[in-house]
Structure 1
């Protein structure tokens, strides 16, 4: 009897132990599925490496002191894999340092003074023309990538560009009640644009806005200029590809027909349809230009022919520095073999 009792006790213990093992197995399986998901068809790759760290792009200075949100690149500019910062303490970790020329041009001491980390890119950035970019000589053999409005830059950052649309956008011209507008603040009597205006004004009425002229509040900039049929997009200096906000923003964004004074017509036509602007060089005299503008003013059909291109294209003129800097990310990731630019001075002239 005692032996039989011990046998039953042993069997009960064995059954209880087996039950505990089974329960523990199912509990562990349930917990594992909660933590890792129910789909266990994909094996866990224990050999996978962590993602490559972001490339740090350091803005050595804010351009002209203007600040803007970093790491918020527009969708058309891929900023993934990069981290933008203005924190100079990250200099030694930066893959690239963007040097805005006008903010560092007064002295070599305004450039980074610490030893450069191996293969770090120094990016020379400007939107100003050679006439307004002094003291580039001390940057010789220091720059790795160029970034400017010039089409042959390593990083092309124009003042504006055209984008194709599907033709379904409304083609609506703002009401035009005035003739010619011009915004100018740097009034240099010896410049070509002022001299040309002096020849033009006896034959054409022009409303001038800017310093010492008519006021142009920034919030109403486009609203005011949209009243005009024509806009004088006269550049402050004449250089290859130097086509600025005077055309892209002041004229095209306000639906005014730009009258341009700058590089050659063929240079403009690299970026714009031939009929989208009027070039002063198309006329032997300023009076000839004035006569043509007055003729267009009286002929709406002929005037509107200069806007046919808008049925398929639209101008884009960024009003922030952000899109320009965002382009550095892709350029650094796609950069060719590391090299040093021999001479900014000889190239940018």
Structure 2
């Protein structure tokens, strides 16, 4: 009975929105899959206008909201931060960092039965708190976790149209780089850096350290052979721009400290990176890096992936917004809620 009511309400709302906010729409394309597999949200066979309300601009920074059709060929979407559209919005995106566990900041008006509240968070569990208060509040999750309702990784590899014959790398005259702004002596990444730097030189950039060349991470790091893609905390699937932009887009071999090697291999080929856990001690890792520095053919093999794949770096924040619209267009009227948000995310 409840599902039938949801369908009727959703259909009635769609008709009303089409009359009020008519615009040209087209069928959704298949989503691009990151390596080796991204959860498919699905393809809508009957495009309809969808209003997605952004409850807060993330971190309070107002940004331009462009059209999903122009950006990602996802037609029939209207993104807005105007809360007057709340009663007719099929989805409301609520950024956890701005909510900060304060349920009084949630919409005060009763949620329409056709509407889905989307919990959006790209921080790790270490830097997320107060979720116990949000159990039973949200309908969907959107995060970097692969089992989110809307899977939104920081980046992914996608196949090139044609496989390249050889890989040409930028000129590399330096060994190891690291870019870090949040320096904390208690973090595992800082502790490992101190140990590794006893055996090999590492150039450090960021706050309180060297300045980036032309304020560009990619321009700076591309002249190095290796990059410390160390996450600020270690959790399953928490693989950020430190890998995708800082290392891979810079054509530099990433040395990773984060989740397990097996978890990384769900995103990138096993021979494309070095995991700190591959070596019993930081000294052993340093010895391997110095060996690769002198052995060009072995070093070059770390870039075999570049013949077959390109890097997609997530576009925050328009890409998550448009993914929500895509999800709404292909969703069924299940009217579910997330009863265990805290235990799921932690």
TM-score exceeds 0.5: yes
2:240 & 2:206 partners in 1: Cα distance?
17
State the secondary structure of the residue aligned to 2:212. Answer: coil
Aligned to 1:55: 50
TM (normalized to structure 1)? 0.82
Kindly indicate whether residue 123 of structure 2 is the aligned counterpart of residue 132 of structure 1.
no
Aligned to 1:163: 158
The 10-residue stretch of structure 1 (165-174 or 70-79) with the greater mean CA deviation from structure 2: 70-79
- Using the TM superposition, give the Cα deviation of residue 309 of structure 1 relative to its aligned residue in structure 2, in angstroms: 1.3
- Using the TM superposition, give the Cα deviation of residue 119 of structure 1 relative to its aligned residue in structure 2, in angstroms: 2.1
CA spacing shift, 1:215–1:105, aligned 2, 3 Å? same
- Which whole-Å deviations, capped at 9, do the CAs of 1:201-244 have from their partners, x for residues lacking one? 11010001111111126643211111110000000001010000
1:75 & 1:53 partners in 2: Cα distance?
16
State the secondary structure of the residue aligned to 2:293. Answer: helix
CA contact (8 A) 2:48 2:329 kept: no
1:86 & 1:62 partners in 2: Cα distance?
8
2:96 & 2:245 partners in 1: Cα distance?
23
Match runs of 1:109-120 below 5 Å: 109-120=104-115
Count of matched residue pairs: 301
2:89 & 2:214 partners in 1: Cα distance?
36
Match runs of 1:1-349 below 5 Å: 54-73=49-68, 77-165=72-160, 166-168=162-164, 171-216=167-212, 219-336=215-332, 337-349=334-346
CA contact (8 A) 2:213 2:219 kept: no
1:110 & 1:221 partners in 2: Cα distance?
36
State the secondary structure of the residue aligned to 1:250. Answer: coil
2:318 & 2:63 partners in 1: Cα distance?
7
1:315 & 1:149 partners in 2: Cα distance?
16
CA spacing shift, 1:141–1:317, aligned 2, 3 Å? same
> Structure 2 unaligned runs (5+)?
1-17, 23-46
Q: Which has the larger radius of gyration?
A: 1
CA contact (8 A) 2:124 2:233 kept: yes
Aligned to 2:15: none
CA contact (8 A) 1:231 1:258 kept: yes
2:69 & 2:309 partners in 1: Cα distance?
20
Aligned-residue RMSD, C-alpha:
1.9
CA spacing shift, 1:319–1:76, aligned 2, 3 Å? closer
1:75 & 1:241 partners in 2: Cα distance?
30
The 10-residue stretch of structure 1 (65-74 or 279-288) with the greater mean CA deviation from structure 2: 65-74
The 10-residue stretch of structure 1 (256-265 or 68-77) with the greater mean CA deviation from structure 2: 68-77
State the secondary structure of the residue aligned to 2:59. Answer: helix
- Using the TM superposition, give the Cα deviation of residue 66 of structure 1 relative to its aligned residue in structure 2, in angstroms: 3.2
Determine which structure has greater relative contact order: mean sequence separation of CA pairs < 8 Å that are 6+ residues apart, divided by chain length: 2
2:320 & 2:154 partners in 1: Cα distance?
9
CA contact (8 A) 1:142 1:341 kept: yes
> Structure 1 unaligned runs (5+)?
1-48
- Using the TM superposition, give the Cα deviation of residue 271 of structure 1 relative to its aligned residue in structure 2, in angstroms: 0.6
State the secondary structure of the residue aligned to 2:68. Answer: coil
State the secondary structure of the residue aligned to 1:281. Answer: helix
